[in-house]
Structure 1
């Protein structure tokens, strides 16, 4: 799974049918919540979802009135079909890309989103520099899976195409060494609905309380012990 062709093969039919629909819908709500938190009221007229999946994030952006025009690029044929089937009113284009070459001119978007994409990318800096070429700002979100039990993370996430594993420090270093200026970076846990979707109502509630509580009182211990996520808003000039 350590090359682009194999990642494309994993995801080519990944979004066909309903097998990931419920999970993606719940995850997209928390992702758009994170975007709104990070931009702190800043207005972006044009938004590009880089690795748009099956369009759940785009759909939530449209419903919340975030951005005047939306666009997406996606490597997966099933993802492109799923995005188009949503008929999102202000979605102007959905284009195929190979993961490294985005078919848009320089700085043609006010904001680019790369939400849970970079952990799949073989050449991370090449991807981020290309995203920076076409977007004035970027919001990037990754899982923080480089814990004490990294072998477990690799074992569990590998089948889903995760080939890069991050801490907050390695994530920030990646952004800076890709030529990005980090404006805001923050670690956070999964939302309560997402935890309950994965683990059930009672167990999910307990996991949510433990994960979020430990992150507040002992963040270093928390992130060494459990998986979290991190988001970053970056300028690209």
Structure 2
């Protein structure tokens, strides 16, 4: 198989090691995040219900477990590049869980149109070739829910070490991500912008292993939240949508990939 159509083996090893040695703190963190994933998903799908759902890049399965608490998602399935994560998912009390499979990061081992809904939470920013994965997600599902972190800031390249430590190799704004989706043939039905909850911010700071003054960092986080609130009062709607939130969630349907042209003179 061509290397471009499978995840780098070194990356797979990183995730396998992470999930095999998943600490109680990291489990608490993903559980905390699963509540916002469910809330944001319900926010964008509105009254839609699905007979079958697959979570692409399901991690330790905490989001799937949270989705199982709603009747909207039917039978639940997962694909993961990490075998350790797959075994963790299988051990969770998820009555609706049907299948859990590992994959190479791009080629999803299910038939075309196998699922009503595919969810993909905080995965695309980790992927070396996001368009390849998006095409596979479109192939196997009628509807899709995507959620990404909004990492972009001016001079983001100066912060590359921190982002790489998170495994974030691509950064997006809402409009950049919408462009990516639309250029691959997805239509966006609804969308939602959200911020990291104060509960989650406190968890990160209090459990940080950095040698820092945690009380000072908590205070700075509160000031940052206040600044964001004030900016929203005075900045334009467009600025706020692009730069004032931490996460972007959208509900999509795949139609057909638009044709790519190259007729410059007719565009001049």
Of 38, 42, 48 in structure 2, the residue corresponding to residue 42 of structure 1 is 48
Over 3 Å counting, the alpha-carbon distance change for 1:212 and 1:110 in structure 2 is farther
Equivalents in 1 of 2:242, 2:158: separation in Å? 13
SS of the residue aligned with 1:169?
helix
SS of the residue aligned with 1:199?
helix
Deviation per CA, 1:182-205: give whole Å up to 9, x if none: 122333211232122123595455
Tell me, yes or no, if structure 1 residue 4 matches structure 2 residue 22. Answer: no
Over 3 Å counting, the alpha-carbon distance change for 1:147 and 1:84 in structure 2 is same
Of 136, 150, 156 in structure 2, the residue corresponding to residue 130 of structure 1 is 136
For the 8 Å contact 1:111–1:139, the answer to whether it is kept is yes
Tell me, yes or no, if structure 1 residue 98 matches structure 2 residue 104. Answer: yes
Structure 1 unaligned regions, length at least 5: none
Over 3 Å counting, the alpha-carbon distance change for 1:7 and 1:137 in structure 2 is same
SS of the residue aligned with 2:19?
coil
| Two-structure CA RMSD over aligned residues (Å) | 2.4
Deviation per CA, 1:136-174: give whole Å up to 9, x if none: 011111111111130344221201211111111211111
Over 3 Å counting, the alpha-carbon distance change for 1:152 and 1:212 in structure 2 is farther
Structure 1 partner of 2:174: 168
* CA positional deviation for 1:135: 0.7
SS of the residue aligned with 1:78?
helix
SS of the residue aligned with 1:14?
helix
* CA positional deviation for 1:95: 0.3
Matches within 5 A, 1:157-196: 157-196=163-202
Report how many residues are paired. 236
* CA positional deviation for 1:206: 5.0
* CA positional deviation for 1:64: 2.8
Of 3, 15, 19 in structure 1, the residue corresponding to residue 19 of structure 2 is 15
Equivalents in 1 of 2:204, 2:141: separation in Å? 34
Equivalents in 1 of 2:127, 2:28: separation in Å? 24
Equivalents in 2 of 1:8, 1:236: separation in Å? 28
Equivalents in 1 of 2:59, 2:65: separation in Å? 11
SS of the residue aligned with 2:17?
coil
Equivalents in 2 of 1:41, 1:217: separation in Å? 34
SS of the residue aligned with 2:172?
coil
Equivalents in 2 of 1:4, 1:45: separation in Å? 30
Over 3 Å counting, the alpha-carbon distance change for 1:182 and 1:221 in structure 2 is closer
Equivalents in 2 of 1:214, 1:166: separation in Å? 20
Structure 1 partner of 2:119: 113
Of 68, 79, 93 in structure 1, the residue corresponding to residue 74 of structure 2 is 68
Equivalents in 2 of 1:207, 1:28: separation in Å? 24
